[in-house]
Amino acid sequence: MPQSAQVSSNGTAGTIHLTLQGKGGVGKSLIAAILAQYLRQTGLDVRCIDTDPVNRTFAQYRALRADRLCLRDEYNRIDQRSFDALMERFLLEREATFVVDNGASTFLPLWHYLLENNALDYLRQNSRRVVVHTVVTGGQALMDTLNGFHELAQTTQERNIVVWINEYFGRVEAEGKKFADMAAYRESTEKVCGAVIFQKRNQDTFGRDLEEMIAAKLTFEEAIGSSQLPVMAKQRLKVVQRDLFEQLGSIGF
């Protein structure tokens, strides 16, 4: 599995990062939050957008100041024309780097919109690159998340997918095979530009610290700087942050 790739020839400035996965509750918003924190740390002008019409989790991270994009029409249906406003922002705010979190209900509408309107080509012609971040998780959601990844990989024409291996619900393994050995990945290796492993750690220490930080919708910086947390809890959060940020750095952002 590739661990490094150059996302764009001129770095990450102006890149559009989308979290896309058809299965809910697998950590898309957390991944969007971690990605936004990492990109901001590198000095980029990061704009965060939450398009999830059901669970506005990303927007709850107040430090990230995510804008909310309304995608439902008067009949409470997803209105794909609402994505036009998103494209306008991508094209007008040319120096900004975007992190857009999408809910499970907007996964197919947004992806089909991008494909049907040749939006990825149009953005590329305007010097914008789209990087798709998708989650594959262990446990009961393994097959659903694998299918979501496979659909993205089979329909994109670019090497623009970053796979987040989320081990929180269990190891990402099936029939003795790890993700890199699974057919879904082997058929799509040319579409994957990097991977990040969110490894499962000791639940009584690391797990509890992370759960409390996530529940409070705090960034790593906020949690580590808090006077409320014990010293060793902060140390464990620093370990997780460093691990994830180093993996993101190896992708070439």
Cβ distance 108 to 22 under 8 Å? Answer: yes
**Domain containing residue 47: CATH number:** 3.40.50.300
pLDDT reported for residue 221:
97
Cα–Cα dist 120/114, whole Å:
6
Would you state the pLDDT for residue 253? 62
The answer to the question of residue 48 being in a domain is yes
User: What is the pLDDT, as a whole number, of residue 4?
Assistant: 37
State which residues form the domain around 190: 16-201
86 in any annotated domain: yes
Q: What is the pLDDT of residues 216-236, one digit of tens each?
A: 999 999 999 999 999 999 999
pLDDT of residue 210: 96
Q: With respect to residue 132, please indicate whether it lies within any of the assigned structural domains.
A: yes
pLDDT at residue number 161 = 96
Is 230 within the bounds of a domain?
A: no
The single-letter DSSP state of residue 72 is: B
Say how far apart CA 71 and CA 169 lie, in whole Å.
30
For the chain, list residues with pLDDT below 50. Answer: 2-11
- The number of domains in the chain is 1
CA–CA gap between residue 204 and residue 223 (Å, rounded): 18
CA trace torsion 178, 101, 204, 196 (10° rounding): 40
